Structure 1
Amino acid sequence: MEYWLILLSIVIGTLSIHYLFKNYNFFKRHNVIHIPSVAILGDMTSLVFRRISFFDLMCKIYNFNPDAKYIGFYATTNPIFLLRDPEIVKSILVKNFEAFPDRRGFNDLNDPLLVDNLFSLHGQKWRDVRTLLSPSFTSSKMKMMFTLMSECAMDFANFLSTISVENNDMDMKDVFTKYTTDVIATCAFGIKINSMKDPKNKFYVYGKEATNIFGLKSLFLISFPTLGRIFNVKLISNHVSDFFKDIIRTTIATRDAENIIRPDMIQLMMDIRGKEGRRELDIDDMTAQAFVFFFGGFDTTSTAMCFAAHELAVNPDVQNKLRQEIDKILEESNGEITYEIINRFEYLDLVINETLRLYPPVGLLDRLCDKSYELPPALPGEKPFIMEKGMTVWIPVYAIHHDAKYYDDPEKFRPERFLDNKMYHNSPYYMPFGLGPRMCIANRFAMLEVKVLLFHLLARCELKPCAKTMLPIKFSKNSTMMPENGFWLNVQRRSDMNPVFEST
């Protein structure tokens, strides 16, 4: 019996070593320029031990050889091609999309909320669901959602302007996630809540828990999905998954029973039921789609708002110019701000575009190769490389947005650089929401949500730095794109508030 145990141990050990080291010399074997690394952790060692933030690491890899069109590195045991050349980026994301149609996403994990949503779906199922959900974000739907957003923004800004007093320092991430929670709850789930007044509501509490999934655990599961499946490790707790599923089930049952129709995502998914030739979504599918919409709105959109607020606070000249535009349009419209008017704000657009350049909500894009594709030589005189199915490319959006080749003085917040917006439209130099067919489906929704929030906030309040404001910003080594000590600002009620808001 002991011999069998020894033999089994040898077999398991051999397989483990093969699994962990099989790709270690990939780039060396293929003569691809790459960053030297250690086995198992690859080039993620400094990230795992929290000596560097993720986006600072991506910039370090990006700048390893400024002349190379792409760089090879190891994300733990996985060989990754980090693309630097904008033409290759555009080719992969747009022109040759059929060769790189899918993200790796969370497709290998055990969490249905993460696996079955639009972000992670592959192939024809992704195409079907994308086609189904696209009508949620047309101009007509945005116009209807604008009213719901505005109600949330008014509640939010009124609350802040009421409690704002001198030396009232706030964690902006905390307050903005409450606003985005309210918006997503009403626009996607058809539920009216006020998280500023009731911060312990389950939607906000469970949403915060559900979106706090990035860290070493997620890095481990994405790097070693087989082990995750064997041990049934999940990123999202069952009680959170059950909560969102119960909301969807209850909402559908209530609307069917009471013949309620709302302009939201759940309604769109309900409306295809029984229609010939249309694939129906079950409760798990609906929950996954609504959840990814919630995830994007709760976390990424609120983070974009935080960076916008931070830059407005530390650049008072920009904030004053934006407030003047807001006040002027308020006066011209007699305080009535419609969907058409909010989309005519020029300087507000510039401020948001520049914020998304400096701090792109999608700071990194990944694509899986689905069929053979030839990468040109990384450097003059070298050979091209043929990518095969299953290989991965990363597009470092954050690093490209901060490259002096494409932006003068890239670290400076300068909204005026977007006055000639055609220069950056559908450009591989500017892609805060991605590029190509897998570009963020909700980018117009997110932009509108940020516009509405900044309008109502700056119409009533003034943003200033406080003692806790980090200058300059250094990204946290424990999370995604967040300052080390959070987003802290001083928020004060405007002394020169437009009379239309004085009674609110």
Structure 2
Amino acid sequence: MRKLLSPTFTSGKIKIMFKLICKCADNFANFLANDSGNIGKTYDMKNVLSRYANDVVATCAFGISVDSFKHPNNDFLLLAKEAANFTSNPIKLLVNKNFPLLGRLLGLKIFSSKMKSFFKEIIADTVKTRDEQKIIRPDMIHLMMEKRDNDHGLTMDIDEMTAQAFVFLVAGFDSTSSAMCFLTHEVGINFDVQNKLRAEIDDILAQTNGKPTYEAISQMEYLDAVINETLRLYPLGGFLDRICVKEFELPPATPDGKPITLKPGDSIWFPHYALHRDPKYYSQPDKFDPDRFLNGEVDNSVYMPFGIGPRMCIANRFALIKLKIMLFYLLWRCDLEPDTKTSIPMVLSKKSFLMNPEGGFWLKLRARKSEAAIPFLSNESVCED
């Protein structure tokens, strides 16, 4: 299945979905600029960024247009939040992961029947309509329909399409919105970074006549560095896991220790949070310093926010472009600054599998006063294919 779906997330396919993401970012940034005004307003960034992430997943994976800023209580958003909260009951999760037969016998469901029916119905209706009316839309549904219509030796029916789109929802909604929260937090409290990043954004706007292209945003070096540094400091999970397939001997962890032999079938956890903050690999590891990604300091073998090797995150390119477009549009339209509620320094909560700060993410946003923001006053699309 991974082999079948990997082409969905190539640069070429993501470029096709670029305009859909831009429209969501345009809507998101317009809302915040108009809502905050010149005086400014403090926001729960998890709330607003979850809405943006939801709209992107809805349009790119499920083929429907959802405006979570105009309709903050829409069914898609509410069920997406419920789906993303699947780790809230660790007992159900661990039983289903390690003892699936027991989980089925005990009826320990991670997702409700209502949720399954809702998302399956969306996929089924969308596919039926597109088949009947020959509709082509640049999203994940269309790409899966193309796979369905070709003989790859794998079944791609409605159940499989729904399952893949649902995995995309769970992975692309909560974890990506959390990454965006850490990203805006660091940009909001580091004014030198924000000013340097905005200068790069204004330069791209001047080059593209106010209509940023996929190529232009993809090639922004400092934007890349800011996002990479955020993911270094805040990889969303505390660890990566892999299954050993070949016997291997690990060297002693300490000078007086003994080597450890891994056997096929052993489950291995990699603490990439610890690796990313190890002074052996990163100078001043707790400092937010995007320049380390511009000066050749980083060893890619110890940088793995999306995993590493052939089983790394299948949608890492998609996640990165979603983050880039969000920050591009937000800084194009708004100024970010800390509020009294902003946690400085940030203290991470110990109550979740994923990384979240105690007290949440809070920033003050203010509509930006500059000529660069003028194109947003138009209702026309502000991105190019």
Task: Say if 1:173 and 1:306, in contact at 8 Å, map to a contact too.
Answer: yes
Deviation string 1:100-145 (CA, Å, 9 cap, x unpaired) is xxxxxxxxxxxxxxxxxxxxxxxxxxxxx11111111122212111
Per the alignment, residue 481 of structure 1 pairs with 355
Task: Report the secondary structure of 2:122's partner residue.
Answer: helix
Q: Taking structure 1 as reference, are residues 202 and 371 closer, same or farther at Cα in structure 2, changes over 3 Å only?
A: same
For structure 1, the residue ranges without an aligned partner over 5 or more in a row are 1-128
- Which residue matches 1:462? 335
Structure 1 residue 361 displacement after superposition: 3.0
1:299 equivalenced with 2:174 (yes/no):
yes
Separation (CA, whole Å) in 1 of partners of 2:16 and 2:166: 21
CA separation of 1:405/1:218 partners in 2, compared to 1, >3 Å: closer, same or farther?
farther
- Shift in Å at residue 220 of structure 1? 4.2
- Give deviations 1:75-113, integer Å, cap 9, x for gaps: xxxxxxxxxxxxxxxxxxxxxxxxxxxxxxxxxxxxxxx
The answer to whether the aligner puts 1:414 opposite 2:289 as a matched pair is: yes
Q: Cα deviation per residue 1:332-383 (whole Å; 9 max; x = unaligned)?
A: 3221211111112121111111111111134411012234333334444654
- Structure 1 residue 223, shift from structure 2 partner: 5.8
Deviations 1:236-275 (A, max 9, x none): 1111111111111111111111111222222222223353
Q: 1:225 to 1:308 in 2, by over 3 A?
A: same
Preserved CA contact (<8 Å) 1:342 1:451: yes
Structure 2: distance between partners of 1:338 and 1:452? 10
Provide the secondary structure at the position in 2 that maps to 1:473. Answer: coil
Give 3-state SS (helix, strand or coil) of 1:492's partner. strand
Distance apart, 1:163 and its partner CA? 0.6
Aligned to 2:31: 159
Within the candidate set 185, 191, 210, 2:58 is matched to 185
Q: Does 1:131 align with 2:3?
A: yes
Q: 1:174 and 2:174 equivalent?
A: no
User: 1:315 is matched with which residue?
Assistant: 190
Give the 5 Å matches for 1:74-89. Answer: none
Task: Report the alpha carbon displacement of residue 209 of structure 1 after superposing the two structures with TM.
Answer: 0.4
Please state whether the residue corresponding to 1:214 is helix, strand or coil. Answer: helix
1:359 aligns to 2:231 (yes or no): no
* SS state at 1:428 partner: helix
What secondary structure does 1:192 align onto? coil
- 1:256 pairs, out of 131, 151, 158, with 131
Q: Is the 8 A contact 1:272 1:280 kept in 2?
A: no
User: Equivalents in 2 of 1:489, 1:291: separation in Å?
Assistant: 30
Summarize the alignment of residues 187-266 of structure 1 with structure 2, pairs less than 5 Å apart: 187-215=60-88, 216-218=90-92, 220-221=94-95, 222=97, 227-266=102-141
Deviates more, 1:156-165 or 1:474-483: 474-483
Aligned with 2:365: secondary structure? Answer: strand
Q: Is the 8 A contact 2:237 2:355 kept in 1?
A: no
Letter in 2 for 1:486: G
Give the length in aligned residue pairs. Answer: 374
Deviation (angstroms), 1:227: 4.4
Is contact 1:363–1:432 with CA below 8 Å preserved after alignment? no
Aligned mates of 2:193, 2:360 — CA distance in 1: 22
Instruction: Tell me the TM-score normalised to structure 1 length.
Output: 0.71
- Which residue does the alignment assign to 2:383? none
Q: Higher relative contact order by CA 8 Å / sep ≥ 6: 1 or 2? A: 2
Q: Which residue type is aligned with residue 442 of structure 1? A: A
In the TM superposition, residue 483 of structure 1 has moved relative to its aligned partner by 0.8
Answer 1 or 2: which has greater helix percent.
2
CA distance in 2, matches of 1:312, 1:151: 23
Amino acid at match of 1:495: K
Q: Aligned letter for 1:492?
A: R
What letter corresponds to residue 478 of structure 1 in structure 2?
K
Give, as a single letter, the amino acid of the residue that structure 2 aligns with 1:193.
V
Q: Does the 8 Å contact 1:375/1:385 carry over to 2?
A: yes
- Structure 2 SS opposite 1:196: coil
2-side partners of 1:310 and 1:418: how far apart? 19
Equivalent of residue 433 in structure 1, options 306, 309, 314: 306
Question: How far 1:167 moved relative to its partner?
Answer: 4.9
Aligned-pair CA distance for 1:189: 1.3
Equivalent position amino acid for 1:446 in 2 = A
The runs of 5 or more residues in structure 2 that have no matched partner are 380-385
SS of 1:132's equivalent in the other structure is: helix
TM-score under structure 2 length normalisation: 0.91
Higher Cα Rg: structure 1 or 2?
1
Equivalent in 21, 46, 69 of residue 149 of structure 1: 21
Partner residue of 2:165?
290
Cα separation, 2, equivalents of 1:206 and 1:262: 24
CA contact (8 A) 1:465 1:488 kept: yes
Does the 8 A contact of 2:40 with 2:367 survive in 1? no
CA distance in 2, matches of 1:157, 1:167: 14
CA RMSD, aligned part only? 1.9
- 1:173 Cα deviation from its structure 2 partner: 0.8
Q: Distance between the aligned counterparts of 1:266 and 1:503, measured in 2?
A: 30
Moved more, 270-279 or 307-316: 270-279
Question: Using the alignment, how far apart are the partners of 2:108 and 2:358 within structure 1?
Answer: 28
Residues 282 and 298 in structure 2, CA contact (< 8 A), matched pair in contact too: no
Matched with 1:405 is 280
